[in-house]
Amino acid sequence: MRVVGCGCSRTLVSRWVDPRPIGVFDSGVGGLTVLAALERALPQESFLYLGDTARLPYGTKSQASVERYALQCAAVLTARNVKAVVVACNTASAAALPALAAAHPEIPVVGVIAPGAAAVVAATRNRRVAVLATEGTVRAGAYQEAIAALDPSLQVTAICCSVFVALAEEGWGEGAVAELAARRYLGDTFAQQFGPDTLLLGCTHFPLLRRTLAALLPASIALVDSAETTAAAVVALVGERMGCGVGAMGTRFLATDGPERFARVGSLFLGRPLLAVDVERIDV
């Protein structure tokens, strides 16, 4: 399986310095895959991450509820003086990005949908792509619309794989259970039936199942990670509009419930140890 990354440069030149952190939020820990990609791409920046763990998952909620939650999360981040907001949640990006941009015209707001769509359009060769996402993202049709806006000739197949979220959070991204779930969703005839040459992981939890999916699907199918593509979009934004941070203060973590679980599960997504004492519990 070919892997499509961000391909971005880590050397940025800016005419000014903006030391404020970049705000990142998600319904829980899944957005930590986006945060990890951002930290790798922008080591000179500081970040403030908010996981709305009291109200997860967003993927099964109505669009109105997700939009309300997203606006409340963004308000917390902007109150702490962030210089941009990254919506590290596919469901919230699909449901709330226009409302977020309208509510915060003073700073850039970046979602995961547009960068992911652009990446699959650039990667496909046979003009057939597949998107794996949660129920809310598939129902909203956000990726289908974003891809069609870039190239209406592409054939897009969207598949709801909500159980992948629970598997990722249990640390079961590999093994017999993950393989059974992947086969249940994709089946042995997926590649032949739909014929995609590019597969987008349209949920921030799904990179934890990368190896399972790679073993199941033909090696000719390119795997696009929305976390990496979103990081590339923020890299471009930092260089063009926001200025670079200097002497990064690291990352601070906020959660609306369960700092202990957030730290334990979050360590899997972040790829490094995270302690409960480093997670501030807040109300929104």
Catalytic residues: 89, 203
Q: What is the CA radius of gyration of the chain?
A: 18
Q: Quick check: 92 and 77 in contact, CB under 8 A?
A: no
Cβ neighbours, 10 Å, residue 143: 28
Among positive and negative, which fits the CA dihedral 227, 198, 59, 118?
A: positive
Q: Quick check: 168 and 201 in contact, CB under 8 A?
A: no
Q: How far apart are the first and last CA of the chain?
A: 41
Distance CA 90, CA 59 (A): 9
SS3 content of the chain, % helix, strand, coil (to 5): 45, 15, 35
